[in-house]
Homo-oligomer: A and B are copies of this chain.
Amino acid sequence: MPDTLGPPVPSPDAEARRRPLPPGAFRVQRPIRFSHTDPAGIVYFPVYFDMFNGVVEDWFTHGLGINYADLILERRIGLPIVHAECDFLIPSRMGETLTLGVRVERIGRSSISIGITGEIEGSVRLAGRLTVVATALDDFASIPIPSDLRSTLEAYRAACGA
C-alpha cells in the first residue's frame, strides 16, 4: 500500500547533511553508553538531541573559540532552539563510538541553522539540524547575531567548503 500523500521532498540541506562530513568540520567523539540505549538495545532517539546540544557547546568553546558558558552566564545571550530535526538512518549500540560533526547551513539575522552528522567508521548513522535564535536572556527578545559570532561562523563555513 503506497503512502497516501507520497513521501516529503527532502530539502537540499537535508541531502547534504546525509553525506559524510567535510575534512574541515569540527568533530567530537561520543561513546554509546548503556544509559543511552533502550530495551531494543539501540540508542533512544532523544539522547541524540541531547548530544547535539552538547556538540554545539563544544563547537562554540573549542572550535569557534567563543566560550559557551560565558556567552550565557556573562554575556546573557541565549541560543534557544526553535527547530530541531533528525533522520535516524542506522541504529547505534552500546560500545560503539559515534563521531559527531558540525556544518553551518544558514546564517540569518538572528537565527543559525546547524547541521549535525553522526558517523561511525565513515558511515553516516544520523543527520540532524538545530536552528537556534540569538536571544537576550533578560527579556527573551531575539537580537541580531553578535558580530564576533557572525564573523566566526562565516569563517567556519568557508573553511568547511560550504
Chain A residues near B (Cβ < 8 Å): 1-5, 7-9, 11-13, 31, 33-35, 37-42, 44-47, 49-50, 53-54, 57-58, 67-70, 72-73, 78, 80-89, 91, 93-95, 106-109, 111, 137, 140, 150
The CA of A49 and the CA of B46, in the complex, are separated in Å by 6
A80 touching B40, Cβ below 8 Å: yes
A69 to chain B minimum Cβ distance, whole angstroms, is 3
Please tell me how many copies of the chain the complex holds: 4
B86 touching A39, Cβ below 8 Å: no
Residues of chain B with a CB closer than 8 A to A33's CB: 53-54, 57
A-B contact pairs, 7 of them (CB 8 A): A1-B108, A3-B107, A34-B39, A46-B46, A67-B95, A73-B95, A83-B86
A65 to chain B minimum Cβ distance, whole angstroms, is 15
The CA of A12 and the CA of B72, in the complex, are separated in Å by 36
B84 touching A85, Cβ below 8 Å: yes
B81 touching A34, Cβ below 8 Å: no
The CA of A104 and the CA of B47, in the complex, are separated in Å by 24
B57 touching A46, Cβ below 8 Å: no
8 Å CB contact of A85 from B41, B53, B85:
B85
The CA of A35 and the CA of B36, in the complex, are separated in Å by 10
A45, A72, A91 interface centre (most CB from chain B within 10 Å) = A45
